[in-house]
Copies of this chain bind each other. A is one copy, B any other.
Amino acid sequence: MTTRADGRSPDDLREVTITRGWLEQAEGSVLVEFGSTRVLVAASVTQGVPRWRKGSGLGWVTSEYAMLPRATNTRNDRESVKGRIGGRTHEISRLIGRSLRAVIDYAALGENTIVLDCDVLQADGGTRTASITGAYVALADAVSWLRDRNALNGEPLTGSVAAVSVGVVGETPMLDLAYSEDSVAEVDLNVVTDGTGRFIEVQGTAEGAPFDRAMMDTLLDLGVAGTARLTELQRAALAS
């Protein structure tokens, strides 16, 4: 059986830690680690909603993702200095926002906005899936913060959300790729599910040759098994 550089078997997650309350001032905050990947998530609650939604009685949840310039092995220029946000940043910010909105009941949230800022402090593959997994926990804490202030119209969370990457490396399907694996993967697929394993988002790309339906099925199975374990870790973190 294949063993990976860090000794994991193909269907192992890296060590995952979820530290709540890492920031003193945010309504929810999490430092989430998938191995060496380290993302700081802050959930900010503001009363009111964007202009296009005012008076609807409905809330809003959105997200912004970014990387510190030296999160990676070589330094990247800051997007603030370049004066524009790159395509990858846009794409991931949108993915995180969509994923979390899938478990939100806007009417129950009321006219409140929650922004999830996911800032990658250190990157070693899987930053978008770590962000989503951590952001759910920060979101849950922000919802609790609103609940404690009687600022909700019901229970806005209709479920939980977790995400993991799967891929094919050297023809072997693998779970939760580290950067050294991701950079040589033939297929790269990100799976976002709710706490019952149903799909919220699936994004798969053939980095090498196109792949067949059997491989698609294997990867989806692997991904769903991974998010099931992340769901447990989220529950444990929220229970502590």
In the complex, the answer to whether A199 meets B220 with C-beta atoms within 8 Å is: no
CB-CB < 8 A to A211: which residues of B?
198-199
Question: How distant is the Cα of A88 from the Cα of B85 in the complex, in angstroms?
Answer: 12
In the complex, the answer to whether A102 meets B72 with C-beta atoms within 8 Å is: no
CB-CB < 8 A to A57: which residues of B?
none
Selected contact of A115 from candidates B75, B189, B216, B220, CB within 8 Å: B75
In the complex, the answer to whether A25 meets B202 with C-beta atoms within 8 Å is: no
Interface string of A20-47 (1 = CB under 8 A from B): 0001111001000000100010101010
A residues apposed to B, CB below 8 Å: 23-26, 29, 36, 40, 42, 44, 46, 64, 66, 68-70, 72-75, 78-91, 93-94, 98, 102, 115, 117, 119, 121-122, 159, 189, 193-194, 196, 198-206, 209-213, 216, 220, 224
Interface of A is mostly: mixed
Selected contact of A122 from candidates B25, B193, B200, CB within 8 Å: B25
Distance from A206 Cβ to chain B, minimum over Cβ atoms (Å)? 5
What are 11 residue pairs bridging A and B, where the CB atoms are less than 8 Å apart in the complex? A23-B70, A23-B121, A25-B73, A40-B121, A42-B70, A44-B69, A80-B82, A87-B93, A91-B91, A198-B212, A203-B204
Distance from A193 Cβ to chain B, minimum over Cβ atoms (Å)? 7
